[in-house]
């Protein structure tokens, strides 16, 4: 018998569940996002339905933190399937992008294959040695520059806009199937990069979390 598609009960206070393998070090990210974050380290081998139910109790949304260096474990897939079946608002956050052989785009492909189809509102920008320096919004073509002490935002130049045009067009096509509140209703799944040391992605993640009532 198929599992019923049950929407999660809303708690009186918003709480975000940040779930990850220990290798992703979620404790470093949590205080940068919110004081209402519950951090759970997942057993990479398995997450039973009973365990998923226990750790997600009272959660308003679930953020799965994936290390680009260690990828997605079976335990993470188990928890994600539980959240998806119950239509929790959910997102995937990708960290450990510095000096990693696997980049953000690689993890996006894996997420789409083993979890579910998500959307990427931002692409990662890199410096000459391949280190992340900021993001570009595929919706506005605005650069979110974190290379300096004070973050800066400005429109991408024509060359960069041309480079991301295909990705931006695909993103627009994906968004056309959703409403503005689709994330809050567990229908739209954003995949977002983060680099804690430079605060890359923190404000962008918070914008999504702010949609949860």
* Whole-number CA gyration radius for the chain: 17
**pTM score of the predicted model:** 0.91
Question: Using 50, 70 and 90 to split pLDDT, how confident is the model at 13?
Answer: low
Exposure string over 122-148, b if 16+ CB within 10 A, otherwise e: bbbbeeeeeebbbbbbbeebebbbbee
**Quick check: helix, strand or coil at residue 26?**
helix
Q: Where are the domains of the chain?
A: 16-123+179-209
Q: Where residue 165 falls among pLDDT bands split at 50, 70, 90? A: very high
- Classified by CATH at the fold level, domain 16-123+179-209 comes out as Rossmann fold (3.40.50)
Separation of alpha carbons 113 and 187, rounded Å: 17
* Strand, coil or helix: 71: strand
Q: How far apart are CA 113 and CA 131, in angstroms?
A: 26
| pLDDT tens digits, 66-122 | 999 999 999 999 999 999 999 999 999 999 998 877 889 999 999 999 999 999 999
Read off the pLDDT of residues 136-153 as tens digits, 9 standing for 90 and up. Answer: 999 999 999 999 989 999
């Amino acid at each position: 018998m198929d599992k019923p598609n049950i929407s999660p009960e809303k708690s009186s206070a918003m709480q975000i569940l940040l779930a990850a393998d220990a290798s992703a070090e979620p404790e470093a990210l949590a205080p940068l996002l919110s004081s209402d974050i519950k951090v759970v380290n997942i057993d990479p081998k398995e997450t039973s339905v009973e365990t998923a139910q226990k750790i997600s109790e009272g959660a308003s949304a679930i953020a799965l933190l994936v290390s680009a260096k260690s990828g997605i474990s079976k335990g993470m897939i188990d928890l994600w399937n539980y959240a998806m079946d119950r239509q929790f608002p959910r997102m995937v956050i990708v960290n450990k992008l510095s000096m990693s052989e696997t980049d953000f785009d690689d993890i996006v492909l894996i997420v789409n294959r083993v979890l579910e189809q998500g959307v990427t509102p931002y692409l990662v920008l890199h410096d000459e040695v391949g280190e992340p320096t900021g993001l570009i919004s595929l919706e506005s073509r605005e650069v979110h520059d974190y290379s300096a002490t004070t973050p800066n935002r400005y429109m991408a130049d024509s060359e960069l806009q041309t480079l991301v045009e295909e990705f931006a067009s695909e993103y627009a096509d994906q968004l056309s199937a959703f409403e503005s509140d689709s994330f809050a209703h567990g229908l739209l799944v954003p995949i977002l990069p983060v680099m804690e040391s430079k605060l890359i992605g923190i404000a962008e993640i918070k914008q999504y979390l702010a949609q949860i009532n």
